[in-house]
Structure 1
Amino acid sequence: MARVPYVESEDVPEEHRDLLVSSLQDRPLHVYQALGNNPEVLAGMRGFFGSLWSDSGLSDRRRELVVLAVTREIDNAYEWHQHVRIARGEGVTDETIAAVSAGEFDALEPEEATLLRYALAVVRGEVDDRTHDAIAELYDDSAVVGIAALAEGYAALGGVIDALGVELEEEFVGWDPTA
């Protein structure tokens, strides 16, 4: 059970009402409704995550692979569930999603494997010169900043979701969609 109420549009100032609705799913999501208890924080977080989506320097597919790897690492079922759906929409196969879930990055293209290893090193606080140099061979400095922010941003969001006890809107897709 959520630890804060899920607000409805009439509960927030008019200028923030549209922030309760997912632009991808065209419906309110519990995560936004929980954050809506503080409309200014909701607005700030939506702006931040919007920037991570559009300005990380990654393709949509690779952005979703990073989000999946991070949300699996932190064991956040809510974000995993949401992003499995989004990743599928970006052409990521269930077999690739299962490989990410299992940490089997060698099943991916080498560049994607390096990307996911870097993202997890960021979240684990384990980025060293070797790890940085590997990602810097593939991406410019702007993208490296975007990737690190994307990884930590979703780790932070997972922590907020866990702290607030945000519940899924429907049945969990599972950690392995091929099972």
Structure 2
Amino acid sequence: MARVPYADASDVPDEHEDLLQSSLQGKPMHVYESIGNNPDVLVGLRSFFGSLWTDSGLTDRERELVILAVAAEAGNRYEWHQHVNIAREVGIVDDDIAAVGRGDLASLDDDEATLLEYALAVARNEVDAIVHAEIAALYEDDAVVGIAAIAGAYGALGQMIDAFDLDLEEGTSFHGWDPR
């Protein structure tokens, strides 16, 4: 059971009720319901994460691979589970998802492996000049900022999820680190 209650629509100002729901699935999500205990933080986080999705400079595939890699690195089941679903929706096949889940970047193409190596270095606080030079050879500065922001933000969100001990939504069960 979660360590903070799941807020419902009556717990947040009327203009923020929709923020308790997934913008993709249109249903309440425990991650948003937990953060809904502080509606102002929920508004800020949803705005920030929305910007990461639309303004990072990454394709949907690249964004989801980064998020999956960060979730797997942290062992965050909730975040991993949610983003396996999204990864599938953007066309990432289960073999690639499973490879990220086991940390097997060699099965991805070289550019994607470099992308995930950089994202993991951000998550581990291990970015050095060499790692930065490798990602900078592939991406413009604005996208490098987007990659680091996604890796850092989803790492922080995973820490909140762990702190709150969030459950998967009712009616779902964990995909596993290898969802095949």
**Band the TM-score falls in, shorter-chain normalisation:** over 0.9
CA distance in 2, matches of 1:57, 1:112: 14
Residue 62 of structure 1, CA deviation: 0.5
Give the equivalent residue in structure 2 for 1:39.
39
Quote the Cα distance in structure 1 between the aligned partners of 2:151 and 2:11. Answer: 31
2:8 is aligned to 8
Equivalent residue, structure 1, for 2:25: 25
Structure-1-length-normalised TM-score? 0.98
Deviation at 1:166, TM superposition (A): 1.1
In 2: Cα distance, 1:120 partner to 1:95 partner: 20
Mapping 1:53-64, distance limit 5 Å = 53-64=53-64
* Structure 2 residue 95 is the aligned partner of structure 1 residue 95: yes
Counterpart residue number, 2:136: 136
Asked if 1:151 is matched to 2:151, the reply is yes
Query: What does residue range 90-129 of structure 1 map to in structure 2 within 5 Å?
Result: 90-129=90-129
Q: TM-score, normalised by structure 2?
A: 0.98
Offset of residue 28 of structure 1: 0.4
What residue identity is the alignment partner of 2:100?
V
Deviation by residue 1:1-57 (Cα, 9 ceiling, x = unmatched): 101111110111111111001011110001100000000000110011001111111
Cα separation, 1, equivalents of 2:123 and 2:109 = 21
Partner of 2:175: 173
Q: Which runs of 5+ in 2 are unaligned?
A: none
Letter in 2 for 1:41: V
* Secondary structure in structure 2 of the residue aligned to 1:126: coil
Distance 2:103 2:173 in 1: 23
Gaps of 5+ in 1: none
Q: Which runs of structure 1 show a deviation greater than 2 angstroms over 4 or more consecutive aligned residues?
A: none
* 1:50 match: 50
**Cα distance in 2, alignment partners of residues 165 and 13 from structure 1:** 25
Q: Deviations over 1:115-136 (max 9, x none)?
A: 0000000111111111000000
State how far apart, in whole Å, the 2-side matches of 1:76 and 1:127 are: 22
Deviations 1:66-123 (A, max 9, x none): 0000000001000100000000011100000010011111100110000000000011
* Deviation at residue 167 of structure 1 after TM alignment: 0.8
Secondary structure in structure 1 of the residue aligned to 2:177: coil
Q: Which amino acid aligns with 2:174?
A: F
Q: Whole-Å Cα distance in 1 between the matches of residues 21 and 126 of structure 2?
A: 36
SS at match of 2:147: helix
